[in-house]
Structure 1
Amino acid sequence: MSYAFLLAAIACEVFATSMLKSTEGFSRLWPTVACLTGYTVSFLALSQAVKEVPVGVAYAIWSGLGTAAIVAIGAAFLGEPITLIKVAGIGLIVAGVVILNVGGAAH
């Protein structure tokens, strides 16, 4: 169940981060409400996940997958360019998450 909470936390964080641009500096009410709600639900779900998943591993997965998803969303929907450097950076993030998971399982 903890990993279900972690996936929910990632989904809510990705949603909230995707909403940031539309808040226009938190000057638009409904996008701001949606963004802040997404972050709130994300942290609530993450707090439930870390009851059983080691906090370092949970945070690495949460931040790493969230970052990778935001890069993909930026490229697909916001017209942000995908460069070789960005792809390499995401690869390193994913590799770091995998290494932390393998190391976390060993303890």
Structure 2
Amino acid sequence: MKTYLFLLIAVAFETFGSSCLQASQQFTKLWPSLGVLVGFAGAFYFFTLVLKVLPLGITYALWSGIGIILITLSGRVIFGQRLDLPAMLGLGLIIAGILVINLFSKAQAH
């Protein structure tokens, strides 16, 4: 269970770093630029902890799927970015993929 907590922390750091990347305006703003460094450093640190337990492919699939959803929510809330129907359907497919991996895959350690 600690492994999944570390994964969520890694994704939270990555979401923070990606949001700061948008806010940094191509690294022209100091504080968001520093946020990018902190966000991605934290993300990769916790990602390495998860890799001690889960296989790389499974970890990256979960990291990517959860990260896409969180960064999409961040884009909506912080930057006012809207999604159209095809984008929402695509995100639904990502969520479905995460559920299939977690509920049915024998490739990951539980």
Q: CA deviation at 1:76?
A: 2.2
Aligned amino acid, residue 44 of structure 2: F
Q: Secondary structure at the match of 2:46?
A: helix
2:55 alignment counterpart:
54
Q: Secondary structure at the match of 2:93?
A: helix
What do the CA deviations read for 1:39-82 (whole angstroms, capped 9, x no partner)? 01100100001101121111111110110111112122211112
Q: CA deviation at 1:100?
A: 2.7
RMSD: 1.6
Q: CA deviation at 1:105?
A: 4.3
1:18 alignment counterpart:
19
Count of matched residue pairs: 106
Q: CA deviation at 1:99?
A: 2.3
Q: CA deviation at 1:19?
A: 0.8
Which blocks of at least 5 consecutive residues in structure 1 are unaligned? none
Aligned amino acid, residue 72 of structure 2: V
The reply on whether 1:100 has 2:109 as its aligned counterpart is no
Aligned amino acid, residue 62 of structure 2: I
Q: Distance in 2 between matches of 1:75 and 1:37?
A: 22
Contact conserved, 1:49 with 1:58, CA < 8 A, in 2?
yes
What do the CA deviations read for 1:15-36 (whole angstroms, capped 9, x no partner)? 1111112111012222111111
The two structures have a TM-score, normalised by structure 2, of 0.87
Which blocks of at least 5 consecutive residues in structure 2 are unaligned? none
Q: Distance in 2 between matches of 1:81 and 1:67?
A: 14
Aligned amino acid, residue 78 of structure 2: F
The two structures have a TM-score, normalised by structure 1, of 0.89
Contact conserved, 2:65 with 2:98, CA < 8 A, in 1?
yes
Q: Distance in 2 between matches of 1:105 and 1:2?
A: 11
Aligned-residue sequence identity (percent) comes to 36
